[in-house]
């Protein structure tokens, strides 16, 4: 029977295991039914489950119910690509009139019953226009474990803190060990029940292994032992160890008979492409019929996007017609669409991809491979976390097709270290940890929307404070337990334990006296008379002190008790220090005061009142102080549209390794530098005044009307996807500036609109 039927006709649902519930011709698993029960009962729900078990079906059911009731639901995703993908899915399911999308790139049908957006957009709406979400019954946070992301996690926290009291939340995530803690925090600040629904068993179990050329599929400990044997053998032979090099194509050859399609993760864009072209030499994974289908898809989609003559597509076609592909952020979005379409059709048998492909895009494969256990995090190479590993490894195994999913990590013996590899046990997945922090924009919006008392309360409602309070409570409980252990131990101790009358103390002190006497007597320059005198007095005191005549067994027992007493005392001291150092209230008040001081000095705020600069900056969500200063200094008023576009792409741009800023740019860069120096003098950090002109020349040419192919000429060496992403980031920032000045300066808003139109065209324009 349909779930809606029993929900309408029953006061309380029967036990999950006693009924069969179907939805869209699927028989729902008990965890899905339980989650739906809680949502229909008016509660929020956190679903913690492995990849590929059907979490999204819960979201789909909720959306169906919201549409039936003529309510509204928001679906947030961590990246624009996932928002765009879900928009297309939902549009096909529910019709274009019922689905909308709001990202930094596009705004389509924003008041639709189902609205897709990035979490950043939702957070911004809550600050700028909270009335807009009043009455919306539910919000779905896909990949809610991003709350623990160092760079973006605070956006998820602010979204939960500021969402309307009547709104209910559905959070979907891979396995979260401390889901109950997260739910308890949400329940505390939103004052309603938050149910945690867990699914531990995978639909398709995973089989984990390392791969080494001479050993094949092997366990970590076995490979450690094998490498040790080879080293010992080379030492006996008197020469350096000679290890066979293991390459990606060795692993692909190994799995080609049983493990395709394969998703091969490489933590390097260049590595993805180089490996794909290396594999292409002498490899072909497609039949003639499959090759013809690939050609047809590429021709059709390339024509739709107008990229038939791009040199990069011509090269990519060579790979795709052999069943090989690659996927990373530097690829042109239109080409990503082609690759993803072919992968979804099963026509890409080996896909080399960076980890962004693991976020939300639902393309299960037979095998997942990793080229290395280490990944680049923007600063250095580090070991994958267990959560990162399972987020990617979980793609292995197709439900209803494979009995198991296979996961391999390449292990090259020349640089192999067993400790570099992540755990293959899901119980070792790391807990979510709050990354809450205050940006200048957050501070401005707090003062814009709340009074001082409310702000103080809000600052104590974040997950970081809740976790600190939980830790302190746990440590205080442990401290009480340890302190309760002391009296029985003290009762068993001898009253003479601290004096020389105790044989243990006496012999310990006597041994110290002997060592000091020996050192003094054997000094190269002869014994020191003063030291000799002092030691003689100590020796006399030892000889004259009466001692208890304790049996040896009693001394042993005393020694054990004393050791236990000291160990317990040290543990109690550590716990007391830890408890005293944990701040559970006012954790962010100092940061608030520092940022408010900077804002006061710069003329953004006076008392609790936002001044014009502050009002403007409260609507800017990237480099808000730099953008505001440039705006109020007249840059946007005085410069041409093309100069503005050339400059705007440099704001908040993070160059890739080896990227250099051009010497000459088509705008007055000294004026920008003066503004940045002024911000630094007021205590603004580099991270809040980021400016790099890598793309400025390309943006100027594009704004002036040149073709996309022209941007790729010369020695700049930018990847097509990076150019588009940089331009789109600039367009997003222009959109924020236009919104900030629209009410007070319509002429400037119109100028900014023209800037956007010059950039938002052809391959840069997002089409959904």
Whether the pLDDT of residue 237 is over 90: the answer is no
Region of residue 44 (phi > 0: left; psi between -120 and 50: alpha; otherwise: beta): beta
Is the model's pLDDT at 696 over the cut of 90?
A: yes
Q: What is the DSSP letter of 99?
A: E
* Cα(248)–Cα(264) distance, integer angstroms: 9
**Is residue 742 classed as helix, strand or coil in its secondary structure?**
coil
Question: Residue range 400-409: average pLDDT?
Answer: 94
Look at residue 16 and tell me whether its pLDDT is greater than 80: no
Closest CA to 197 of 61, 43, 76: 43
Of residues 11 and 701, more confidence is placed in 701
Determine the 3-state secondary structure of 72 from DSSP: coil
Rounded Cα distance between 38 and 3, Å, is 13
Q: Is 679 left (phi over 0), alpha (psi -120 to 50) or beta?
A: alpha
In the numeric block, which tokens belong to residue 582? 């944990």
Closest of 255, 166, 231, 197 to residue 54, by C-alpha: 197
With a cut of 60, say whether residue 4 has pLDDT above it. no
Q: For residue range 291-338, what is the model confidence (pLDDT) as tens digits?
A: 999 999 999 999 998 898 888 999 999 999 999 999 998 999 999 999
Cα angle for residues 546, 551, 555 (degrees, 5° grid): 85
Beta bridge partners of 466: none
Segment 554-563, tens digit of pLDDT: 767 777 887 8
d(CA 166, CA 170): 13
In angstroms, rounded to a whole number, what is the distance separating the alpha carbons of residues 129 and 448?
Answer: 12
Q: Which one is predicted more confidently, 356 or 137?
A: 137
Q: CB under 8 Å to 388, separation ≥6 — which residues?
A: 355, 375, 422
| Burial label, 6 (beta-carbon count in 10 A; 0-12, 13-18, 19+) | middle
**Among candidate residues 705, 765, 730, the one with its CA nearest the CA of residue 307:** 765
Question: For residue 473, what are the contacts with CB-CB under 8 A and spacing of at least 6?
Answer: none
Q: How far apart are CA 154 and CA 148, in angstroms?
A: 8
CA dist 116 and 562 (Å) reads: 65
Higher pLDDT, 569 or 492: 569
Burial readout 245-269 (b: 16 or more C-beta within 10 A, e: otherwise): ebebbbbbebbbeebbbbbbbbbbb
Q: How far apart are CA 294 and CA 317, in angstroms?
A: 9
pLDDT, residue 499, reads 64
Give the residue among 350, 349, 329, 325 at the shortest CA–CA distance from 338.
325
141 three-class SS: strand
For the residues 228-240, what does the mean pLDDT come to? 86
Q: Which residue in the block uniquely carries the two structure tokens 């807009």?
A: 132
Q: For the chain, percent helix, then strand, then coil, each to nearest 5?
A: 55, 10, 35
Mean pLDDT of 148-163: 94
pLDDT in tens, 628-656: 999 999 999 999 999 999 999 999 998 88
Return the DSSP state at 211. Answer: E
- Give the chain's mean pLDDT: 89
- Asked whether 161 and 458 are in contact (CB, 8 A), the reply is yes
Task: State how beta strands 206-212 and 405-410 pair.
Answer: parallel
Exposed / middle / buried, residue 316 (Cβ in 10 Å: 0-12, 13-18, 19+)? buried
Q: What is the pLDDT of residues 38-83, one digit of tens each?
A: 999 999 999 999 888 889 899 999 999 999 999 999 999 888 888 8
pLDDT of residue 716: 60
Above pLDDT 90, what percent of the chain? 67
Q: Exposed/middle/buried for 371, CB within 10 Å: 0-12, 13-18, 19+?
A: buried
pLDDT in tens, 254-300: 999 999 999 999 999 999 999 999 999 989 999 999 999 999 999 99
Asked if residue 151 has pLDDT above 50, the reply is: yes
Reported as a pLDDT band with limits 50, 70 and 90, residue 361 is low
| pLDDT tens per residue, range 410-436 | 998 988 888 889 999 988 999 999 999
Q: What per-residue confidence (pLDDT) applies to 715?
A: 53
98-112 pLDDT, tens digit each: 999 998 888 899 999
Q: Is 360 helix (H, G, I), strand (E, B) or coil?
A: coil
DSSP state of 2: B
Query: Where residue 20 falls among pLDDT bands split at 50, 70, 90?
Result: very low
Ranges of H-type helices in 257-379: 269-280, 288-305, 311-320, 333-344
Residue 210 pLDDT exceeds 90: yes
Burial of 700 (0-12, 13-18, 19+ CB in 10 A): buried
Question: Collapsing DSSP states into helix, strand and coil, what is residue 254?
Answer: helix
Decide if pLDDT at 33 tops 90.
yes
Of all residues in the chain, the percent with pLDDT exceeding 70 is: 94
SS3 call for 398: coil
pTM: 0.86
């Amino acid at each position: 029977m349909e779930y809606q039927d029993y929900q309408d006709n029953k006061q309380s649902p029967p036990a999950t295991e006693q009924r069969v519930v179907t939805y869209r011709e699927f028989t729902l698993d008990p965890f899905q039914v339980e989650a739906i029960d809680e949502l229909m009962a008016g509660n929020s729900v956190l679903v913690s489950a492995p990849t590929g078990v059907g979490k999204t079906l819960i979201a789909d059911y909720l959306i169906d119910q919201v549409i039936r009731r003529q309510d509204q639901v928001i679906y947030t995703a961590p990246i624009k690509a996932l928002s765009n993908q879900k928009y297309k899915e939902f549009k096909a399911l529910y019709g274009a009139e019922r689905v909308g999308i709001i990202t930094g790139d596009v705004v389509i049908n924003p008041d639709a019953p189902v609205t897709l957006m990035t979490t950043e957009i939702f957070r911004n709406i809550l600050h700028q226009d909270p009335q807009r979400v009043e009455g919306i019954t539910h919000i779905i946070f896909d990949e809610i474990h991003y709350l623990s992301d160092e760079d973006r996690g605070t956006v998820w926290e602010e979204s939960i803190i500021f969402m309307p009291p009547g709104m209910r939340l559905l959070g979907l995530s891979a396995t979260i060990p401390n889901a109950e803690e997260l739910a308890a925090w949400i329940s505390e600040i939103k004052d309603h029940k938050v149910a945690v629904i867990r699914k531990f068993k995978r639909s398709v179990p995973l089989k984990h292994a390392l791969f080494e050329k001479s050993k094949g599929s092997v366990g970590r400990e076995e490979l450690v032992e094998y490498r040790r044997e080879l080293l010992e053998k080379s030492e006996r032979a008197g020469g350096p160890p000679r290890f066979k090099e293991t390459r990606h194509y060795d692993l692909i050859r190994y799995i080609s008979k049983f493990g395709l399609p394969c998703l091969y993760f490489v933590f390097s864009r260049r590595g993805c492409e180089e490996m794909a072209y290396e594999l292409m030499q002498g490899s072909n994974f497609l039949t003639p019929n499959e090759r013809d289908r690939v050609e047809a898809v590429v021709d059709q989609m390339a024509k739709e996007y107008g990229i038939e003559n791009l040199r990069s597509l011509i090269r990519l076609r060579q790979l795709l017609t052999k069943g090989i592909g690659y996927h990373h952020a530097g690829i042109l979005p239109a080409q990503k669409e082609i690759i993803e379409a072919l992968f979804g059709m099963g026509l890409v048998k080996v896909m080399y991809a960076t980890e962004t492909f693991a976020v939300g895009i639902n393309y299960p494969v037979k095998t997942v491979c990793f080229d290395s256990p280490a990944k680049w995090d923007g600063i250095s190479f580090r070991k994958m976390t267990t959560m990162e590993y399972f987020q990617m490894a979980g793609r292995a195994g197709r439900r209803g097709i494979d009995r198991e999913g296979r996961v391999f990590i390449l292990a090259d013996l020349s640089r192999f270290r067993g400790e570099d590899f992540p755990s293959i046990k899901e119980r070792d997945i790391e807990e979510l940890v709050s990354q809450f922090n205050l940006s200048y924009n957050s501070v401005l919006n707090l003062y814009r929307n709340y009074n001082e008392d409310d702000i103080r309360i809000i600052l104590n409602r974040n997950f970081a404070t809740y976790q600190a309070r939980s830790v302190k409570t746990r440590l205080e409980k442990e401290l009480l337990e340890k302190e309760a252990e002391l009296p029985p131990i003290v009762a068993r101790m001898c009253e003479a334990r601290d004096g020389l009358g105790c044989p243990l103390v006496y012999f310990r002190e006597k041994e110290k006296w002997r060592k000091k006497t020996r050192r003094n007597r054997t000094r190269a320059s002869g014994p020191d008379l003063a030291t000799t005198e002092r030691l003689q007095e100590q020796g006399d005191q030892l000889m004259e002190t009466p001692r208890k005549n304790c049996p040896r067994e009693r001394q042993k027992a005393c020694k054990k008790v004393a050791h236990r007493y000291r160990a317990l005392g040290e543990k109690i001291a550590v716990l007391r220090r830890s408890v005293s150092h944990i701040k559970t209230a006012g954790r962010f008040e100092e940061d608030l005061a520092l940022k408010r001081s900077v804002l006061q000095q710069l003329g953004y705020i006076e008392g609790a009142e936002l001044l014009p600069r502050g009002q403007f900056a409260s609507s800017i969500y990237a480099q808000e102080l730099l953008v505001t200063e440039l705006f109020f200094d007249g840059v946007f008023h005085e410069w041409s549209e093309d100069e503005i576009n050339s400059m705007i792409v440099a704001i908040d741009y993070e160059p890739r390794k080896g990227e250099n800023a051009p010497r000459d740019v088509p705008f007055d860069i000294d004026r920008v530098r003066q503004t940045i120096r002024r911000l630094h003098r007021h205590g603004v950090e580099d991270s809040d005044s980021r400016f790099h002109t890598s793309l400025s020349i390309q943006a100027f040419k594009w704004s002036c009307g040149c073709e996309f192919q022209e941007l790729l000429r010369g020695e700049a060496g930018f990847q097509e996807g990076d150019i588009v992403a940089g331009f789109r980031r600039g367009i997003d920032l222009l959109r924020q500036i236009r919104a900030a000045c629209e009410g007070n300066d319509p002429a400037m808003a119109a100028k900014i609109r023209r800037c956007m139109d010059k950039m938002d065209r052809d391959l840069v324009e997002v089409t959904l």
